[in-house]
Amino acid sequence: MVNIKSSRIEKKISRLLKAIQPTARLRILFGIGQGEACVCHLEALLGYRQAYISQHLMALRKDGILETRRIGRFIFYRLTNPKLLELIHRAGDIAGIPEKELKALTQMEPLNQCDCPHCNG
């Protein structure tokens, strides 16, 4: 017998995990970390093409993972829920990745190739 209520719960969790599952999206989420980042920043940081990043950002926004904030001509993306980063860190921990290496992925340092207000303060 199918328990309707619990299958709804599992679907919700599955939808969330699916939304963050592609490696490109994990890289983007690490890149954003607990801060915020614009497309040009992620382009400089990750080396992906802008159209490719935009496509993932749009999907992440549609899935409720990211929200946006506009400053002038820049649109910044940030996590709707900071716990998402904890979830990804926990998954990395279970996968055997040292905490230090995981933390290093979310360092927000100014990038020379980026002219966003955070890098060009």
Site for Zn ion in 27-86 (CB under 5 A): 41
Nearer to Zn ion by C-beta: 8 or 73?
73
**First-last CA distance in the chain:** 59
Which one of 49-57, 58-66, 79-87, 108-116 is the stretch in contact with Zn ion (CB under 5 A)? 108-116
Nearer to Zn ion by C-beta: 101 or 109?
109
Residue 24 CA to residue 1 CA, distance in Å, equals 38
Size of the site for Zn ion (CB under 5 A): 5
Nearer to Zn ion by C-beta: 60 or 114?
114
What burial class does residue 37 get, using C-beta atoms within 10 Å of its C-beta: 0-12 exposed, 13-18 middle, 19+ buried? buried
Task: Give the nearest distance from C-beta 44 to Zn ion in angstroms.
Answer: 7
Nearer to Zn ion by C-beta: 74 or 91?
74
Contact call for residue 88 and Zn ion (CB under 5 A): no
Task: Give the nearest distance from C-beta 33 to Zn ion in angstroms.
Answer: 13
Which pair of structure tokens corresponds to residue 24? 């490109």
Tell which residue, 64, 58, 57, has the closest CA to residue 28: 57
What burial class does residue 63 get, using C-beta atoms within 10 Å of its C-beta: 0-12 exposed, 13-18 middle, 19+ buried? middle
Task: Among 42, 65, 66, 119, indicate the residue that binds Zn ion (CB under 5 A).
Answer: 119
Q: How far is CA 114 from CA 14, 21, 41, 82, in A?
A: 35, 27, 5, 24
Binding site for Zn ion (CB under 5 A): 41, 114, 116, 118-119
